[in-house]
């Protein structure tokens, strides 16, 4: 029983990191139909910036605040400067964003070196908590709760605010939205920036749990794509469901049959694309 | 429809005319009901199988091969129902029968002069004409025309009407049109579609005096 | 459809290119020859992807899976069955074709962005198989110590780099000849029509799915063949050859050179291979340069260098 509870919590905390990572990716695709392979770079750079800020300032929370802002800015620059030019050409988007991924990967390697590093956890959360007979790491519990909190905030933002309404209108019909005076350019840049910031946040939060290392950008982008495909492109709810699915499946896979762990991610992805490309909750 | 009939399909915007064409052509699946082509149940047939049984169509937005030349477009239309279309080992130009048919079509439809021009560089009227030429390339039994005269000048329209009236009774024609005069000129019978249902059907006179039709078009006489 | 003048021009250009490569292969020291062979093998790989990407309009981000299956199949045959080049090549090409036949059924249920993603995922599945199936593939150590192949002529042994260079050059020329024949054939014309307007093709009477599937299998066979050349050249193969990075690089080679042209993928492959080798000698930042190349190609020359060079005055 202990084993399953621990695995479930581990899966849940991984799922929350994935959710932060893929919520942005999913909405970006649904909104702008942009495939952005460099989304993994946001995670990596967020984690590294967080690392540096925490080491310099001594405060985890400071790092958690700064890194997403900087990464969000990077995202906006990327969108306005580069991705906007290949708006309707998927192949070009893939190549362009892959190039950005490589550039960021090299820059990160140069600035932060090749050794895997783990972000130090905040002292307040660096312990364990006992529920019944099971001992859980406090950090993972906090992470899971934080993820749910972010999900709720995003849902409220999108569904209950004027800004959210503008985003939803632009997703639904860009031309029409522009026609009624919505500045879709700003909406797109803003959503992209927010998605990048969330990915940066995932980098800090995940980095304290899984570490940051060269190649993490690749590993997470593949996971994020699997999440987005399964959950459904363009859907926040889908990103949550997909994250839970992949997070738990991958964790269980690693625990039970490590040699097949990789398949737990890609086989469902293929199956979903083959039979229901719009995912569980996506718009086709 | 009867064999050899010329039928016009009219109706206000959004009534489902192109959707109906897409269901007949196989580009869209109906949510219920069946499609019968030439006496056979074609509901589950993909578009290419329907083409082989004798169906041909044009599209509301001209659907050709914009980056290929006129002769290459016609060549594809001619090759479509020949088994050589799977041959990977010989030059496409080395099949004299096919090439002869291509030359004939180019001459008949007066495209010989513009044979090397890319379709996207053709005038809109010429593109429409080419689309019909390609649709007729294999003497289909049923030809679907989706607003063939849309966007054409008066002169181009009367040219096109001659083209549409040219084939004999071995080709049945079902035509979507917005221009009522064109429809009346070409068609023997008319069907009126409104919000997905046929609300009237018959000869021009019958339909014109139909009250439901008047309500649709003129909001009640 | 092709003016006689430019046809001769192209034949002359091709002859010159081949002659240059032969001279380079013969005159340069062995290290450079190694690089050239790498380039030729990548060219075969890129040409096979071009059939899918450039001629049929199917953007596959997992083409390395078939390259890898060809490499592993030939490697295994060479280690356990026979050193014969012909049997190894046949096995590898068949392995690529069979994997393509299986994956193609799944992949062709999708289009556009979804096709990109499903081919990516399928490629990663192939990578995962190579990585996990230690007993057969050697896991992340891969297959090692694959001996030089035997082409069955007692006087000729392919353990000399010069002779292997000749072999790969012949292989590339053969692949190009086959591609040219295919592209000019009725089947090739239908692929071009499908790329331009697949709905119209269906309405005319073409079984679009079947044509795409056949192209997919052919392209996978070609990739498998390239994998065979690769494994005999290097003497080893590891799971990385199936990774999306390899697939993406092949895609870059095709686009850089010019998708939908015969020589484009060759030019792109040679450029990237030579550049990569050259850059790796002088700097640690080849990844950065490569990344900038990806970005540059998309923004500056999306139709590729060949079509920029070959653009005649006037239309097209």
Q: Is C102 touching A (CB cutoff 8 A)?
A: no
A3 in a structural domain: no
Q: Is C293 touching A (CB cutoff 8 A)?
A: yes
pLDDT single digits (tens) C275-304: 999 888 888 899 999 999 999 999 988 888
Predicted local distance difference test score (pLDDT) of residue C312: 52
pTM, whole model, 2 decimals?
A: 0.90
Q: Is B92 touching C (CB cutoff 8 A)?
A: yes
Share of chain B above pLDDT 90, in %: 48
Predicted local distance difference test score (pLDDT) of residue B176: 92
Range of the domain at A96: 8-211
Predicted local distance difference test score (pLDDT) of residue C1: 44
Instruction: Classify residue C179 as exposed, middle or buried by CB count within 10 Å of its CB (0-12, 13-18, 19+).
Output: buried
Contact C252 A95 (CB under 8 A): yes
Q: How far apart are CA A17 and CA A224, in angstroms?
A: 10
- Please report the DSSP string for C5-52 in residue order: HHHHHHHHHHHHHHHHHHHHHHHS-HHHHHHHHHHHHHHHHHHHHHII
A65 in a structural domain: yes
B chain contacts of residue C209, beta-carbon cutoff 8 Å:
46
A229 in a structural domain: no
Helix axes A184-210, A39-57, angle to 10 degrees: 60
Tokens, residue C249: 């690089």
pLDDT single digits (tens) A69-85: 999 999 999 988 888 88
Predicted local distance difference test score (pLDDT) of residue C11: 73
C chain contacts of residue A90, beta-carbon cutoff 8 Å:
59, 112-113, 116
Distance of CA C280 to the CA centre of its chain: 22
Neighbours of chain A (3+ CB pairs under 8 A): C
Q: How far apart are CA C73 and CA C237, in angstroms?
A: 10
| Residue with tokens 């060479």, as numbered in its chain | C78
Looking at per-residue confidence, does A2 or B67 come out higher? B67
Contact C187 B121 (CB under 8 A): no
A47 in a structural domain: yes
C-alpha dist (Å) from residue C231 to A232, B41, B218, C148, C267: 39, 53, 76, 9, 22
Q: How far apart are CA B157 and CA B180, in angstroms?
A: 13
Chain C contacts in chain B segment 103-122 (CB below 8 A): 116-118, 121
Segment among B181-190, C25-34, C69-78, C127-136 with least mean pLDDT: C25-34
Contact A95 C294 (CB under 8 A): yes
A56 in a structural domain: yes
A204 in a structural domain: yes
Name beta bridge partners: C64: none
Number of CB atoms found within 10 A of residue A180's CB: 9
* Nearest residue of A to residue C259, measured between CA atoms: A91
Contact B88 C192 (CB under 8 A): no
Q: What is the CA radius of gyration of chain C?
A: 19
Q: What is the CA radius of gyration of chain A?
A: 18
C chain contacts of residue A80, beta-carbon cutoff 8 Å:
none
A43 in a structural domain: yes
Q: What is the CA radius of gyration of chain B?
A: 18
- Mean pLDDT to the nearest integer, C68-73: 96
A241 in a structural domain: no
CA distance A194 to chain C (A): 23
Q: Is C187 touching B (CB cutoff 8 A)?
A: yes
Contact B48 C202 (CB under 8 A): yes
- Mean pLDDT to the nearest integer, B22-33: 90
Per the structure, the count of domains in chain A is 1
Contact B63 C203 (CB under 8 A): yes
Contact C185 B90 (CB under 8 A): yes
Tokens, residue A203: 């980098």
Average pLDDT of chain B, as a whole number: 88
Contact A10, A209 (CB under 8 A): no
Average pLDDT of chain A, as a whole number: 87
Contact B88 C204 (CB under 8 A): no
- Please report the DSSP string for chain C in residue order: ---HHHHHHHHHHHHHHHHHHHHHHHHS-HHHHHHHHHHHHHHHHHHHHHIIIIIS----S-THHHHHHHHHHHHHHHHHT--BHHHHHHHHHHHHHHHHHHHHHHHTT--HHHHHHHHHHHHHHHHHHHHH-HHHH-GGG-B--PPPPB-S-TT--TTSHHHHHHHHHHHHHHHHHHHHHHHHSHHHHHHHHHHH-HHHHHHHT--HHHHHHHHHHHHHHHHHHHHHHHHHHHS-B-GGGGSHHHHHHHHHHHHHH-TTSSSHHHHHHHHHHHHHHHHHHH-S-HHHHHHHHHHHHHHH-TT-HHHHHT--SS--
- Coil, helix or strand for C194? helix
* ipTM for the whole complex: 0.90
- Please report the DSSP string for A54-80 in residue order: HHHHS-HHHHHHHHHHHHHHHHHHHHH
- Mean pLDDT to the nearest integer, C31-58: 93
pLDDT single digits (tens) B147-168: 998 888 888 888 888 888 888 8
Q: Is C182 touching B (CB cutoff 8 A)?
A: yes
Q: How far apart are CA B218 and CA B216, in angstroms?
A: 6
- What lies within 8 Å, CB to CB, of C313 at 6+ separation is none
């Amino acid at each position: 029983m202990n084993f399953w509870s621990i695995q479930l919590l581990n899966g849940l905390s991984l799922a929350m990191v994935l959710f932060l990572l893929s919520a942005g990716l999913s909405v970006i695709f649904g909104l702008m139909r942009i495939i952005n392979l460099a989304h993994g770079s946001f995670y990596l750079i967020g984690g590294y910036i967080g690392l540096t800020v925490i080491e310099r300032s001594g405060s985890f929370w400071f790092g958690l605040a700064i890194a997403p802002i900087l990464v969000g800015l990077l995202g906006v620059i990327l969108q306005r400067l580069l991705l906007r030019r290949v708006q309707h050409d998927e192949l070009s988007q893939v190549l362009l964003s892959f190039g950005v991924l490589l550039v960021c990967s090299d820059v990160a390697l140069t600035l932060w070196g090749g050794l895997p590093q783990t972000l130090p956890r905040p002292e307040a959360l660096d312990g364990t908590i006992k529920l019944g007979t099971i001992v859980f790491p406090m950090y993972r519990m906090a992470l899971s709760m934080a993820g749910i909190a972010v999900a709720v905030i995003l849902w409220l933002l999108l569904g209950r605010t004027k800004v959210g309404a503008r985003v939803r209108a632009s997703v639904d019909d860009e031309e029409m939205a522009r026609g009624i005076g919505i500045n879709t350019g700003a909406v797109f840049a803003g959503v992209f920036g927010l998605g990048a910031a969330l990915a940066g946040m995932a980098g800090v939060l995940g980095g304290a749990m899984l570490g940051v290392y060269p190649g993490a950008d690749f590993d997470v982008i593949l996971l994020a794509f699997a999440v987005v495909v399964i959950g459904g492109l363009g859907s926040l709810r889908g990103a949550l469901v997909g994250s839970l699915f992949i997070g738990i499946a991958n964790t269980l896979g690693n625990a039970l049959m490590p040699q097949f762990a990789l398949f737990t991610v890609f086989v469902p992805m293929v199956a979903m694309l083959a039979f229901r490309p719009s995912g569980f909750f996506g718009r086709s | 429809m009867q064999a050899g009939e010329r039928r016009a399909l009219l109706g206000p915007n959004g009534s489902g005319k192109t959707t109906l064409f897409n269901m007949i052509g196989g580009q869209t699946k109906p949510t219920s009901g069946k499609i019968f082509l030439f006496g056979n149940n074609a509901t589950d047939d993909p578009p290419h199988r329907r083409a082989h049984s004798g169906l041909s169509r044009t599209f509301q937005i001209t659907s050709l091969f914009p980056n290929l030349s006129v002769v290459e477009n016609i060549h594809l239309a001619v090759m479509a129902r020949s088994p050589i279309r799977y041959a990977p080992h010989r030059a496409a130009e080395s099949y004299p029968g096919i090439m002869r048919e291509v030359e004939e079509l180019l001459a008949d439809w007066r495209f010989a002069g513009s044979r090397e021009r890319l379709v996207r560089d053709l005038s809109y009227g010429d593109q429409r004409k080419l689309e019909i030429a390609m649709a007729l390339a294999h003497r289909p039994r049923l030809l679907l025309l989706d607003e063939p005269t849309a966007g054409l000048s008066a002169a181009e329209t009367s040219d096109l009407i001659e083209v549409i009236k040219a084939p004999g009774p071995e080709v049945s024609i079902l035509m979507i049109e917005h221009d009522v005069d064109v429809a009346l000129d070409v068609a023997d019978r008319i069907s009126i579609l409104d919000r997905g249902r046929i609300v009237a059907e018959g000869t021009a006179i019958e339909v014109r005096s139909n009250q439901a039709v008047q309500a649709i078009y003129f909001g009640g006489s | 459809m092709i003016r006689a003048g430019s046809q001769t021009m192209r034949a002359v250009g091709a002859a010159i290119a081949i002659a240059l490569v032969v001279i380079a292969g013969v005159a340069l020291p062995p290290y450079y020859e190694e690089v050239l062979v790498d380039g030729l093998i990548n060219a075969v790989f890129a040409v096979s992807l071009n059939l899918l990407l450039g001629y049929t309009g199917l953007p596959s981000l997992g083409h390395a899976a078939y390259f890898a299956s060809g490499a592993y199949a030939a490697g295994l045959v060479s280690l356990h069955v026979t050193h014969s080049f012909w049997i190894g090549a046949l096995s590898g090409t068949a392995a690529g074709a069979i994997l393509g036949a299986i994956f193609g059924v799944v992949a062709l249920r999708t289009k556009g962005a979804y096709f990109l993603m499903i081919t990516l995922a399928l490629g990663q599945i192939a990578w995962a198989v190579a990585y996990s199936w230690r007993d057969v593939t050697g896991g992340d150590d891969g297959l090692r110590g694959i001996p030089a192949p035997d082409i069955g002529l007692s006087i000729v042994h392919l353990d000399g780099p010069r002779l292997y260079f000749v072999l790969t050059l012949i292989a590339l020329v053969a692949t190009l000849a086959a591609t040219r024949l295919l592209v000019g054939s009725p089947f090739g014309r239908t692929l071009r029509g499908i790329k331009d307007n697949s709905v119209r093709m269906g309405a005319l009477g073409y079984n679009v799915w079947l044509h795409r599937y056949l192209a997919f299998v052919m392209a996978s066979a070609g990739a498998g063949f390239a994998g065979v050349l690769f494994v005999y050249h290097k003497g080893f193969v590891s799971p990385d050859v199936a990774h999306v990075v390899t697939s993406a690089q092949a895609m870059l080679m095709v686009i850089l050179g010019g998708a939908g042209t015969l020589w484009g993928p060759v030019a792109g492959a040679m450029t990237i291979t030579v550049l990569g080798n050259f850059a790796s000698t002088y700097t640690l930042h080849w990844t950065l340069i490569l990344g900038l190349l990806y970005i540059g190609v998309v923004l500056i020359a999306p139709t590729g260098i060949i079509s920029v060079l070959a653009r005649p005055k006037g239309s097209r």
